[in-house]
């Protein structure tokens, strides 16, 4: 039996791309689907776009929130699906992805991890990102693939959802907590979503570095594990920066499998 899937889209002033996101959800033709959109009180026309498709949206929440983690938690609270997949307003579900996922679905797991496709929409370069399956302290592999992950409603209730403190890496913190609590991960080799490069998750600032350290300290890590993780992140960041000077797509092609 196909699981009931809730697609959750959180957005704020996402008029540039949200219509494409909504259309990709509608086009799935998956017969056990719920669609929840949580809008943070957009002022740029996002709501007007959403209302064009209101007959396809099961739940719409539009009100100010305390950031994206808060928006996720609001959507999770009202979701009725067995599994919840978060697809943000910059990203696009791949054609027939949900049926492909369901055809390989095996009951009994907490987190189903699928492939995410990094997409440079300016050059139309696409490369496959295969998800990390283990999240010890410190996590030395960061293929998060959050938008290509299906998480059980029960696990969200057990782990307490996303921490409001996190504005950038709430997904990493959640996976670390879930792994620590013994959640059962399962990999399904299906490409689920085109992840558009250039969003909030691609940025680097003091708050994001602070959050990385909080993931370690907040999950029982030692000073040594924080140091190891810090060195790993710095090395990773500067390596990316260096190859980006050569070619904006060089890092993608070098580290992932290019998709024609």
Of the candidates 167, 171, 134, the residue with the CA atom closest to the CA atom of residue 149: 171
Angle at 197 between CA 5 and CA 9, to 5 degrees: 30
236 alpha-carbon distance from chain centroid? 20
Per-residue CA distances from 59 to 52, 80, 81, 138, 239 (Å): 14, 10, 12, 37, 42
Residue 186 has what pLDDT? 98
State the average pLDDT for the chain: 91
Model pLDDT for residues 46-71, shown as the tens digit of each residue = 999 999 999 999 999 999 999 999 99
Residue 223 has what pLDDT? 94
- β-bridge pairing 92-93 and 111-120: unpaired
**What pLDDT band is residue 153 in, cutting at 50, 70 and 90?**
very high
Phi, psi for residue 34 in degrees, rounded to 5: -120, 140
Structure tokens at 68: 């994206």
Distance in angstroms (rounded) separating the CA atoms of residues 196 and 124? 10
- pLDDT of 236 over the 90 cut: no
Residue 123 has what pLDDT? 82
Per-residue CA distances from 197 to 85, 90, 121, 160, 202 (Å): 19, 9, 8, 29, 7
Distance in angstroms (rounded) separating the CA atoms of residues 66 and 182? 29
Model pLDDT for residues 157-175, shown as the tens digit of each residue = 999 999 999 999 999 999 9
Of the candidates 82, 179, 88, the residue with the CA atom closest to the CA atom of residue 131: 179
Residue 248 has what pLDDT? 60
Task: Tell me if the pTM is above 0.85.
Answer: yes
Structure tokens at 57: 């949206």
């Amino acid at each position: 039996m196909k699981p009931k899937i809730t697609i959750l889209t959180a957005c704020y002033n996402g008029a540039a791309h949200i219509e494409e996101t909504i259309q990709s959800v509608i086009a799935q033709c998956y017969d056990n689907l719920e669609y929840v959109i949580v809008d943070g009180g957009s002022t740029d026309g996002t709501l007007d776009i959403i209302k064009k498709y209101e007959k396809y949206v099961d739940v719409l929440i539009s009100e100010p929130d305390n950031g994206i983690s808060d928006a996720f938690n609001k959507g999770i609270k009202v979701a009725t699906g067995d599994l919840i997949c978060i697809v943000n307003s910059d990203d696009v579900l791949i054609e027939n992805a949900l049926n492909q996922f369901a055809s390989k679905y095996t009951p009994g797991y907490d987190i189903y991890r699928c492939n995410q496709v990094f997409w440079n929409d300016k050059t139309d370069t696409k490369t496959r990102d295969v998800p990390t399956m283990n999240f010890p302290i410190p996590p030395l592999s960061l293929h998060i693939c959050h938008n290509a992950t299906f998480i059980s409603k029960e696990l969200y209730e057990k782990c307490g959802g996303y921490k409001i403190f996190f504005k950038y890496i709430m997904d990493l913190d959640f996976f670390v907590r879930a792994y620590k609590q013994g959640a059962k991960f399962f990999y399904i080799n299906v490409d689920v979503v085109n992840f558009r490069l250039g969003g909030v998750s691609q940025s680097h600032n003091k708050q994001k570095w602070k959050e990385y350290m909080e993931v370690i300290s907040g999950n029982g890590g030692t000073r040594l594990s924080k140091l190891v993780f810090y060195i790993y992140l710095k090395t990773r960041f500067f390596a990316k920066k260096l190859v980006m000077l050569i070619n904006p797509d060089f890092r993608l092609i070098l580290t992932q499998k290019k998709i024609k």
